Amino acid sequence: MSSTLLEYTELLESVKGKNAGSCQTCFFTSVQTDSRNVCEGTMFVPLVGEKQNGHIYIPQAIEKGASVILLNESELVKNSDCYKELQEKNPEVLFLAVKNTLHALQDAAECYASKVCKDMIRISITGSSGKTTTKEMMASVCKAHFGEENVAYTKGNFNSETGLPLTVFSIKGNEKVCVLEMGMNRENEIGEISKVFKSQYGIITNIGTAHIGILGSRENIAREKRKSLDYIPENGAAFVPEVDSYGDFCVQNVKGKIVKYGHESSAKDYNVHLVEDKGLFGTEFTLNELTVNLPLSGDYNFQNALGVISCAKELGFSDEEIKKGLENVAAISGRMESKVVRLKNGKEAILIKDCYNANYESMTKVLEFCNGLKKIGKKIFVLADMKELGAESEKTHKAVGEKINQISPDYVYLIGEEMKAAYSVLFKKENSFYYEEGGDRTFALISSQINSYAEDNDLILLKGSHSMELEKLVPLLVKVEA
C-alpha cells in the first residue's frame, strides 16, 4: 500500500483545520478539486466560485472513494444536519473543517512541497506570454540531463491558484528537479502559489498586457510577476530578458544571482549566436561549437530558449544536453502549431493554429512572424477577440488593426465584439470581413469562403483567445484524410 501524502498531524496543522467527524486517521494518495476525477484514496477539496459551489459534490466524491474531505466551516454550520448524516454513514472518511478550502489546498500543498521537494532543484517560470512553451523547453533540457523519470513539471496548463497545488501533489518525491509554471488571473495569485513552491531559480519571459484589465497597468503586472522570485535564496538565480523595460524592476528584491538573457547577453555570456530564422521550420543557432536546430518558429521562441539556456548553464548542464533537450521540444497543442494541411477544396495550405490564448504581445508577434515568411502564397488571417483587457480593450484592438494595416494580408476575418475596434481602422476593407459573434454559423461562412479561393501554399492563421473557440474552424477547413 502506498503511504499517505500527508500524515494526520501534518494535514491538520497545515490547513489549521478542525476534525468535523469521528475519524482520527488520515490516508490519501491523490488530491482533487473536481469530483469527476476522484478515485479511491483521494482527498477531495470542494471550491466555491462565482457560479459553482463544490460542496454539493461531496456525497458523489465519497461514493467514488474519497478518504479525506476538506470543507468550509461556514458550509458545515449552514448544513450541519446533512454533514452529520454523511459522517455517520461514512465513519472511515476524515472530515476537516477549514476557513477557506482554496487556502487550505494551498497550505497543504506547501506542507507537502516542503517534504518532498527540499532536495530537488526547483524552477519557476512565468510571464505574460510564452511561459508554457518555455516550461516545456526547460523540462525537456532537464530530461536530457537527469533522465525523464527524474523530472517533475507542470502538465498542460495547471499553473493557477488551484492548478499549481494539484501539480505539487503529483510529485513523487524521488525526482531531481521540478519545473513549475505560474499563471495568474487576479491580484496576488502568483504570491500565493510562489509561497507553495518556493523556487530556487525563476525565469520571467516578459511583462506584457495580458490581464491588464484586471491589474490596471504593466507596472502592476510586473509587481505580480516578480512575486514568483520572492523565495529565491542567495545560491539561486533569477533570469529576466535584457530587452524588457520591467526587467530591472522585477529583480529589485531578489536575493540570488541576477542573469539577463537575450541576443546580446547570451552571445557574450554563453556564446550563443543566431544563424538563421528558418520560418515555419524553426530557428538555427550555435551554442559554442554546437549547431542547434530549435523546432519552434519565431524569434520570440528563440528568445525564450535563451532564457532556458541561461538557467541550464547556471545549473551546470552541458552544451550537448541543452542541444538535445531543445531539439526534442515539439509544438504544444493550440500554441503556434504549424503544418501543411489538405483543405476541403483539395489544395494544400499552411495552417498556423495559435488559439490557446491571446494578448497584444502574442498577437503582434505571430502577425510579424507571418509577415516575415517567404515563398508562400496568399496570407489569410482569422483573428478573434483578445480577452481580459478591460478599459484597455478598445485601444489595444485598434493597435492590432494598425498592425494589420502594416502587414496588409490578402484576406482578414475579425471575430468578436472587441475586434470591431480593429476593423474600424483597417484600410483594406474590400478583403476584410467582420463578424460580431463567432459560433457555428460564422465559422461555416468563413470556412466556405476560404475554401472557395484558397490555393496551394497559401497561409491560414487562426489566432484569438481560447474562449473564442477558433479551433472549431479546423475541421470545417481541413479535409480528413482516409
Residues 259-276 have pLDDT tens digits of 999 999 999 999 999 999
- pLDDT for res 165: 96
Query: Could you tell me which residues are beta bridge partners of residue 202?
Result: 124, 238
- pLDDT for res 110: 98
Could you report the per-residue pLDDT of 28-41, keeping only the tens digit for each?
A: 999 999 999 999 99
Confidence of residue 334 (pLDDT cuts 50, 70, 90): low
Pairing assessment for the beta strands 177-181 and 201-204 based on DSSP bridges: unpaired
Distances in whole angstroms, Cα of residue 311 to Cα of each of 122, 200, 236, 341: 11, 11, 10, 37
What percentage of the chain has pLDDT greater than the value 70? Answer: 98
Helices (H) and strands (E) counted in the chain, each on its own, are: 19, 20
Taking alpha carbons only, the member of 344, 376, 347 closest to residue 461 is 376
Confidence of residue 1 (pLDDT cuts 50, 70, 90): very low
Which of the residue ranges 156-165, 308-317, 371-380, 460-469 has the most confident prediction, judged by mean pLDDT? 308-317
- pLDDT for res 2: 62
Could you report the per-residue pLDDT of 433-460, keeping only the tens digit for each?
A: 999 999 999 999 999 999 999 999 999 9
Residue 286 has pLDDT above 80, yes or no: yes
Confidence of residue 279 (pLDDT cuts 50, 70, 90): confident
Task: Find the distance separating the first CA and the last CA of the chain, reported in whole Å.
Answer: 47
Could you report the per-residue pLDDT of 404-428, keeping only the tens digit for each?
A: 999 999 999 999 999 999 999 998 8
- Alpha-carbon gap, residue 106 to 190, rounded angstroms: 12
How much of the chain is in helix, strand and coil states, percent to nearest 5?
A: 45, 20, 35
**If DSSP codes are grouped into helix, strand and coil, which group holds residue 361?**
helix
Query: Could you tell me which residues are beta bridge partners of residue 277?
Result: 283
- pLDDT for res 91: 93
Q: Are 117 and 178 in contact (CB under 8 A)?
A: yes
Residue 122's H or E segment, with its range, is strand 121-126
Query: Could you tell me which residues are beta bridge partners of residue 276?
Result: 284
Q: What is the pTM of this model?
A: 0.81
